Amino acid sequence: AQAEADRTRHQQESDQLRIELDRARLAETSTHQECTQLRMEVLAAKTELANVTATAKAAEQSHQEQRKASTEQHAADQARNQAQADQARVELADVKTKAETARQQASSAREDAAKLSGQVEALQTQVDSLMQALAARPTTTEAKPVAKDKK
């Protein structure tokens, strides 16, 4: 009866660790997806920065070609473009920070998953040993007392 209780307890612990491992793997997948999303946002921010920079350069070239007619307009465009570029740089820095955080979280999730995997293997080995011990026991009604393993 004690061995059966131990086996049941070990099985429940093993099942719980499998659930935790699945959760860790799901978290890792989610973190990986977040990393991918952040990389896409970084690329979009870089593209936007390149577009803003290109717009600023186009405005400067237009200013040179139409200097007499557009001096005031050029100054306004340049200030607006610079503000956009500054905003894009700020957004890019934020996205990079988020990407680094996501990478760290993914690393942590991988470590947690590896720990849980090791625990599941150890428990599975224990369960297998217990199952073999149970299978090897005599089937008589006089059961021998099981020595408790002191850790």
Q: Which position has the token pair 């999730």?
A: 109
Reply yes or no on whether the pLDDT at 13 is more than 80: yes
Between CA 111 and CA 99 the distance in angstroms is 18
Cα(110)–Cα(54) distance, integer angstroms = 41
Is the pLDDT higher at 101 or at 77? 101
- List the end-to-end C-alpha distance of the chain, in Å, as a whole number: 21
Residue 117's nearest CA partner among 29, 18, 11 is: 18
Q: Tell me the pLDDT of the chain averaged across its residues.
A: 86
pLDDT band at 141 (very low <50, low <70, confident <90, very high): low
pLDDT given at position 73: 73
> What is residue 74's three-state secondary structure?
helix
Over residues 56-71, the pLDDT tens digits come to 888 877 767 777 666 7
